[in-house]
Structure 1
Amino acid sequence: MDRPAPKPQVTLGPLEKQDRVSLVSRALADFIQTAELKPGDRLPAERVLMETLGVGRSTIREVIGRFQALGVVEIRKGSGTYLRRRVSASTIQMPLSIDAASLGDALRLTLEVRRGLEVQASAIAAARRSETDLRQIEACLLTMEEAHEREGSAGRADLAFHLAIYDATGNPLFRQLLEQMREGFERFWDQPFDRPDFAARSFPLHRDLYEAIAAGDPAQAVAITTRILDIVEEDLEVLSK
């Protein structure tokens, strides 16, 4: 019987100093494709990726976290990271793009999508959240409140809070959609219009949202999420003038 042809030898190398997360994502996706890894195969260990790609642990973990959110890999505690489905650089890097004339227009378009996702996610999270989910949401809320008190704005701690709510739905598609729209969503936390106090009026409502989810009250969670997004839209209208 003929033996199967050996897999090609594939190596990884240090990356240029650019957008490390994007570069690592492409490099890892290329490796998965070229090494012909199959679902169930184990990926190189975190330490190996750090050394061969020349990046830090936080970058590797962010990339692996994104791959996990997209359903590409599975992390098995104490065992490693395993491939769940085949990918390539052309498929892993296909974010939804926003073609808008101005930052204000781009934020408004993103806000329309956020309404659909976040209102529904809040309702589902209130109905389904586990105690573990609730602790994670609360931890993100505390980080967000500390950042707001220290810096006057919550920054990306706000994004982490909403991601925790998405995860509490138990539906991985919410986070996968956000990962595909990350660039548009992150613009809300990049001090739009050079205003660090953007959407500051909505900040206190985030604790109310946490409490509604903790109470298992989907209707209240929907009402508060809607109010938060209404305030963001009002601020956009003012700042765009």
Structure 2
Amino acid sequence: MAVTDEAIAGIKQMIVSGEIGPGDRLPPEKELSEKLGLSRSSLREAVKALEVIRVLDVRRGDGTYVTSLEPHLLLEAMSFVVDLHQDDSILEIFAVRRMLEPQATALAAREASDDDVADIRSLLDSLGTDPDIDELIAHDIDFHNRVARSAGNAYLASLLESLSGRTVRARVWRAITEGGSVERTIGEHHAILDAVANRDPNLASALMTAHVAGVEEWVRRSVQ
């Protein structure tokens, strides 16, 4: 194991063991390097790496703190990777979404509050009759994120959000708008929400499966 990896593993173990937790300040660099039995330069590299993936928050002149460790923070790096993927890799991302998102939607049909449903309904109703591509992308991201969040599982919602970066959505919506299927796609959003509102997890899951698979097929044709 590389020395920097050892330092990362050491800090991770301190967090996992509960020695330090969300919001806590790390010991001073000299003290921590001695505790881990590693050089201060290796420790600095480890801290930089953990800062990038939002495990640590380096505050200049104050110290280094453990972040909240909330799922949306820790999965930000995955969103970055997803946005960099080429079109053929997007199909693999859609395959993962097709497995996870219907289950999240079924869970939403069981767990979403009336306020959650009303909030998503308001989002659907707010989309104008002639939206441009940026409005469509924002709407699509917001709709899927709100449905996932209404399921009440923060880790699942954050994972799905990380698989649906803005760049990916832009590519998808360009394919859809060029094919003239905007109305059908928005109609599918309404049908999915109706199933959630009617507390029908089987129908909600089936509709989301068909919805994601349909968009996946648009992408498949566009990359051939």
- Aligned equivalent of 1:94: 77
Matched-pair identity in %: 24
- For 2:220, what is the secondary structure of its paired residue? helix
TM-score (norm 2): 0.61
1:167 and 2:149 aligned: yes
Structure 1, residues 124-148: CA drift from partner, whole Å, max 9, x if none?
00011111211222122223x32x6
Show structure 1 runs of 5+ residues with no match: 1-5, 9-23, 41-66, 73-90
Give the one of 151, 156, 164 matched to 2:132: 151
- Aligned equivalent of 1:35: 63
Shift >6 Å, 4+ stretches: none
Structure 1, residues 21-65: CA drift from partner, whole Å, max 9, x if none?
xxx997x9322996344689xxxxxxxxxxxxxxxxxxxxxxxxx
Query: 8 Å contact 1:137–1:161 — kept in the other structure?
Result: yes
TM-score (norm 1): 0.57
Query: 8 Å contact 1:107–1:187 — kept in the other structure?
Result: no
Does the C-alpha gap of structure 1 residues 102 and 214 become closer, same or farther in structure 2, counting only changes over 3 Å?
same
Mapped partners of 2:161, 2:216: distance in 1: 22
Mapped partners of 1:100, 1:7: distance in 2: 36
Show structure 2 runs of 5+ residues with no match: 1-26, 30-51
Which has the greater radius of gyration? 2
- For 1:169, what is the secondary structure of its paired residue? coil
Deviation for aligned residue 1:196: 6.0
Mapped partners of 1:33, 1:111: distance in 2: 44
- For 1:30, what is the secondary structure of its paired residue? strand
Deviation for aligned residue 1:95: 2.0
Does the C-alpha gap of structure 1 residues 182 and 202 become closer, same or farther in structure 2, counting only changes over 3 Å?
closer
Mapped partners of 1:217, 1:92: distance in 2: 30
- Aligned equivalent of 1:121: 104
- Kindly indicate which of the two structures has a greater share of residues assigned to helix: 2
Query: 8 Å contact 2:175–2:219 — kept in the other structure?
Result: no
Query: 8 Å contact 2:108–2:151 — kept in the other structure?
Result: yes
- For 1:197, what is the secondary structure of its paired residue? helix
Mapped partners of 2:144, 2:173: distance in 1: 22
Query: 8 Å contact 1:29–1:92 — kept in the other structure?
Result: no
- For 1:149, what is the secondary structure of its paired residue? coil
Query: 8 Å contact 1:193–1:239 — kept in the other structure?
Result: no
Number of residue pairs the alignment of both structures matches: 170
Does the C-alpha gap of structure 1 residues 99 and 175 become closer, same or farther in structure 2, counting only changes over 3 Å?
closer
